[in-house]
Amino acid sequence: MKKLLAVLFFGFYLMTVDAQIMRQQEGGGVFKGDSTTFKNEVQIKLSGETKYTDYKIISIKNDTTVVDTTLTIAKDYKFNYIRKDNFELLAFHNLGQTFNKLAYNFTDNSLFPTIGANAKQYNYYKIEDVFYYDVPTPTSEFMYKTGMEQGQILDGYLTLNTSRQFNIYIAYKGLRSLGKYRNSLASHGNFRTSFNYHSKNNNYLLRGHFMSFDLLNNENGGLTPESVGYFEANDPNYIDRTRLEVNFTDAENLFEGKRYFMDQQLTLFSKNNKLEAHNTLISNQLKSYNSTLKQIETLKKDTLSYLIKSKIITAPKKPVATKKLPQKEKEVVVKTDSIKEIPIIKIDSLTKEVPLKKIDSIKLDSIRTIKIMKIDSLLIVASKFKVDSSDLVVINKNSDYGVKIGHTFMYETQHYRFKQAAVNPFFGEAYDKNIADHTSYQKMNNEVYMQFNAPLLGALRAKANYFNYNYQYSSILYLDDQTIPEKLKGNTIAVGADWKTNFGKFSLNADASTILSGDLTGNSIKAFVMFKKDSVYSFKGFAEITSKTADFNKLLYQSDYKKYNWQNNFKNEQIKNVGVEFSFKNWASINASYNLIDNYTYFDENSLPAQAAETLNYLKVTLSNSITFRKFTIDNTVMYQDVSTGESFFKVPEIVTRNTLYYSNYLFKGKPLYLQTGVTVKYFTEFNASAYNPLLSEFVLQNTQKIGNFPMLDFFANAQIRRTRLYLKVENFGASFTGRKYYSAPTYPYRDLTVRFGLVWNWFI
Which pLDDT does position 50 carry in this prediction?
72
Q: How far apart are CA 142 and CA 489, in angstroms?
A: 41
Q: Quick one: pLDDT at residue 289? A: 55
Share of the chain above pLDDT 70, in %: 77
Distance CA 166, CA 450 (A): 24
- Which segments of the chain belong to CATH 2.40.170.20? 58-268+400-764
Q: Which of 6-10, 194-198, 425-429, 569-573 has the lowest mean pLDDT?
A: 6-10
| Distance in angstroms (rounded) separating the CA atoms of residues 601 and 574 | 10
Task: Let me know the angle formed at the C-alpha of 728 by 726 and 733, rounded to the nearest 5 degrees.
Answer: 165
- When mean pLDDT is compared across 69-73, 387-391, 464-468, 733-737, the lowest value belongs to 387-391
What are the pLDDT digits (tens) for 601-618? Answer: 999 999 999 999 999 999
Residue 519 vs residue 736, higher pLDDT? 519
According to the model, what pLDDT value does residue 305 have?
A: 59
Tens of pLDDT along 646-686?
999 999 999 999 999 999 999 998 899 999 999 999 999 99
Per-residue pLDDT, averaged over 494-509, amounts to 91
Q: Does the pLDDT of residue 28 top 50, yes or no?
A: no
Please spell the DSSP secondary structure of 79-93, one letter per residue. -SSSSS--TTEEE-S
Q: Do residues 192 and 255 touch, judged by C-beta distance below 8 A?
A: no
Q: How many other CB atoms are found less than 10 A from the CB of residue 43?
A: 7
pLDDT per residue as tens digits for the range 440-488: 999 999 999 999 988 878 899 999 999 999 999 999 999 888 899 999 9
Task: Name the more confident of 586 and 410.
Answer: 410
> In angstroms, rounded to a whole number, what is the distance separating the alpha carbons of residues 26 and 47?
7
pLDDT in tens, 126-166: 999 999 999 999 999 999 999 888 889 999 999 999 999 99
3-state secondary structure of 104: coil
Q: Which of 52-61, 168-177, 401-410, 467-476 shows the lowest mean pLDDT across its residues?
A: 52-61
Phi-psi region of 234 (alpha: psi -120 to 50; beta: other; left: phi over 0): left
Assess whether pLDDT exceeds 50 at residue 3: no
pLDDT at residue 356 is higher than 50: no
pLDDT (0 to 100) of residue 297: 52
Return the SS3 of 308: helix
pTM recorded for the entire structure = 0.79
Q: How does the average pLDDT of the chain come out, rounded?
A: 82
Contacts of 185 by beta carbon, 8 Å cutoff, 6+ apart: 176, 177, 178, 179, 216, 217, 218
CATH of domain 58-268+400-764: 2.40.170.20
